[in-house]
Amino acid sequence: MTSVTVIGLGPMGQAVAGAYLDSGYQVTVWNRTTARADELVVRGARRAESVEAALTAGGPVVLSLTDYDAMDAVLAQVPGAALDGRTLVNLTSDTPDRARQAAAWLAGRGAVHVTGGVQVPPPGIGTPDAMTYYSGPQDAIEGHRPALEVLTGIEYLGEDPGLAALYYQIGIDMFWTALAGYLHGQAVAEANGIPAEDFLPHAVRSMDLRYFLEFYAPRITAGDHEGDVDRISMGAASLEHVLHTTRASGVDDSIPAAVLKIFRQGIASGHGRNSLTSLIGVLKQR
């Protein structure tokens, strides 16, 4: 039987621990609110009575916490010797710099830090197409590959512990921005009597951006922002219409207004006849 420890039993931690139990692992769990471990204990997990006991239970230690401040608070409860020789697989979300700082801090105490950025929500843990960004010591990742692959596939990005956090945060940037756009559009729809389920097929078509991403990426790489297909001035005019429709519907206009502001900055910078991809340069100057 292979051992693993899971520290942090929010929705992701619960899913992680459950996946290991389903795969026959000996699972030790710890959470500040001990009741969160109850159902896992019923399923066969061992409840650690302290953070130190969790760290020394054996196998890799998977951290699934709110942020690195929470991790610092948890690890502050143990003497440095409890970390010596441990591998911590940190699925906690935070910035690339915090990941690098944590890796250095743990290395100074004899531990190995593997940064992970899970690309699926908790229900996706253990499903065939799930993937996680990993960065840090490759030998540690390869040494624990079977345990990591219980959760998701592995996309290894390199030795820099900040890379997995960077890729994760970029993806989350796009994720929340896109979903905020969906919610805003649905608010306008509902204000005009269109229920979410009725608008769903139209929303799915509008949110399928794969064609645009695959069209733009090579042009961005080449520095080609020619306005032969789209222009910022066209986009600004379109957003004006969105803004008027939003206001006429009695819906908050802050999201489209913010996007229109960026388009107008592009026009003011002389990019009105260029593709909207030229806004990358405008955004990088902010």
112-122: per-residue pLDDT in tens?
A: 999 999 999 99
Q: Is 270 left (phi over 0), alpha (psi -120 to 50) or beta?
A: left
For the entire predicted model, the pTM comes to: 0.93
Per residue of the chain (286 residues), give pLDDT as tens: 699 999 999 999 999 999 999 999 999 999 999 999 999 999 999 999 999 999 999 999 999 999 999 999 999 999 889 999 999 999 999 999 999 999 999 999 999 999 999 999 999 999 999 999 999 999 999 999 999 999 999 999 999 999 999 999 999 999 999 999 999 999 999 999 999 999 999 999 999 999 999 999 999 999 999 999 999 999 999 999 999 999 999 999 999 999 999 999 999 999 999 999 999 999 998 6
Output b/e per residue, 63-82; b: 16+ Cβ within 10 A.
bbbeebebbeebbeebeeeb
Which two tokens mark 55? Answer: 């760290």
Report the CATH superfamily, name and number, of domain 3-159.
NAD(P)-binding Rossmann-like Domain (3.40.50.720)
Q: How far apart are the first and last CA of the chain?
A: 53
Q: Is the fold of 3-159 the same as that of 167-284?
A: no
pLDDT reported for residue 161: 98
Q: According to CATH, what is the number of the domain 167-284?
A: 1.10.1040.10
Tokens linked to 46 = 């061992």
Instruction: Retrieve residue 224's tokens.
Output: 């080609």
Asked if 21 and 8 count as a contact pair (C-beta separation under 8 A), the reply is: no
Contact 8, 17 (CB under 8 A): no
Q: What is the pLDDT of residues 136-189, one digit of tens each?
A: 999 999 999 999 999 999 999 999 999 999 999 999 999 999 999 999 999 999
Dihedral sign for Cα 154, 160, 162, 168, please. negative
Q: Check residue 1 and give its pLDDT.
A: 66
What are the sequence ranges of the domains in the chain? 3-159, 167-284
Q: Give CA–CA dist 100/144, Å, rounded.
A: 20
DSSP β-bridge partners for residue 132: 118, 154
For tokens 């030998």, the residue is 139
Per the CB < 8 A criterion, the answer to whether 126 and 150 are in contact is yes
Q: Are 33 and 58 in contact (CB under 8 A)?
A: no
Which residues lie across from 46 on neighbouring strands?
Answer: 28
Q: What are phi and psi of 155, to 5 degrees?
A: -115, 100
